[in-house]
Amino acid sequence: MENDRTKFSKNKILFPTFVMDGPPQWAMVQSMTCRCCRYGVDANSGEILCSLPAYARNAYPVETKYAFDNKNCHLGRTVTELMDMMMPTSGNGDFCSRLLFNAINRSYIERVENYHSYCKHKSKEASAYVEKDGYYIRNYPPLGDGIRDAYDAACASQFTPWKVSDHDRHTREIQSVSCRLIFAQDHTHEVTKNYIRKKRMGAVALWDVATETGEIASAVLVPSTQTKHFVHAAAALTRRPTFNPSAMYSDTWPSKSSFWGLLFEKEVIGRLGLFHFIQRITRTLKKRHVDHFVCVNALLNCIYEYHQDDYEKLLTALKTGTLGSTKYSTQTMRSRI
């Protein structure tokens, strides 16, 4: 690749990089061309950056997977680090966009304040300050949809130092989860509430499998809780050479027990989950009975026991509000427990 010319020398255009700690950073983008095939590419694209050594690659304040070559701006590391933590759980691209606009506004107000205070201190007449949305700078951060699209494109981008996209890496990590003792399968509905393409894909729930180590061995969006919609994922899971459980937990057992018996070559012991086992008993009791509370506590003490140290730490966290913004009193916790 050979240097051709900068975008500024050709079109008098600067390339913005939006950050969280102030106004955007401006750069003159260098165009590069292959001497053989005349293939052209910008020097700040992910294709070029991921091929550079770390000390040179990190000089540009943008992660390589977010360095898109078909955009008129980039998002800095301070922005994408926040996106990587926020987007998987909430998908709130609008909030990230508002933070970028707020950073520009705060920086402008601070500069105006510094300028006028300096003129007042020096007894000078202050000139008219440059308007924030003036003639020279008309580039704005992307909106919520643009933030979400950028995150999705970055997850699927292979322009990383290891040449593997985050999507493929996460998929391989899940596929490498093994099981030697026990696993639990269930349908989770809360996961799909923040999924922006829920209606387009027809996703009603997430079928997931957890092992004895707490790792997720499979996670698949399904249009319903019927067996036919997760049978392919379940069959692929049982074909793993490292997935050889001896028992399984399910919230519907013994329903679908014949289905799981066909998937495994050896006999797998099935059990009903503890929560649903207790619910099937307590739902038949009269809640308004005078001995209902005593009966339920006695039943729970017969079924399971808890680790005393962990239980005391949980109560302390609920009282101090460590687990959330709400602090619970002793009376409230006793009534709920």
Q: What angle do CA 179, 184, 187 make, to 5 degrees?
A: 130
The answer, yes or no, to whether residue 53 has pLDDT greater than 60, is yes
Count other C-beta atoms under 10 Å from residue 250's C-beta.
19
| pLDDT interval class at 178 (50, 70, 90) | very high
Is position 289 within any domain?
Answer: yes
- The answer to whether 80 and 154 have CB atoms below 8 angstroms apart is yes
Among 95, 54, 91, 61, residue whose Cα is nearest residue 75: 61
Q: Using an 8 Å Cβ cutoff, are 79 and 62 in contact? A: no
Number of domains in the chain: 3
Asked if residue 133 is part of any domain, the answer here is yes
229 and 310 inside one domain? no
| 22 and 113 part of one domain | yes
Q: What is the residue-averaged pLDDT of the chain?
A: 86
In a domain, 296, yes or no: yes
Report the distance separating Cα 99 and Cα 20, nearest Å: 7
265 and 294 assigned to the same domain: no
258: in domain: yes
**Domain that includes residue 329, residue range:** 280-336
Residues 181 and 153 in one domain: no
Distances (CA, A) of 117 to 103, 105, 107, 124, 125: 21, 18, 15, 10, 11
Q: Region 234-245: what's the mean pLDDT? A: 91
Supply the pLDDT for residue 210. Answer: 93
Give helix 144-155 / helix 93-121 axis angle, nearest 10°: 120
- The pLDDT assigned to 336 comes to 61
- Domain end, chosen from 104, 136, 165, is at 165
Average pLDDT (281-298) is 89
Task: Decide if 170 is inside a domain.
Answer: no
99-103, 194-198, 333-337: least confidently modelled range = 333-337
198, part of any domain: yes
23 and 142 inside one domain? yes
pLDDT surpassing 70 at residue 289: yes
Residue-level pLDDT at 127: 82
Q: Do 126 and 182 reside in the same domain of the chain?
A: no
The pTM score is 0.70
Q: Which of 250, 272, 294 is the last residue of a domain?
A: 272
Domain C-terminal end among 223, 241, 272:
272
Domain shared by 83 and 197, yes or no: no
Residue 171 included in any domain: no
pLDDT of residue 337: 57
Residue 212's domain is classified under what CATH number?
A: 3.30.420.10
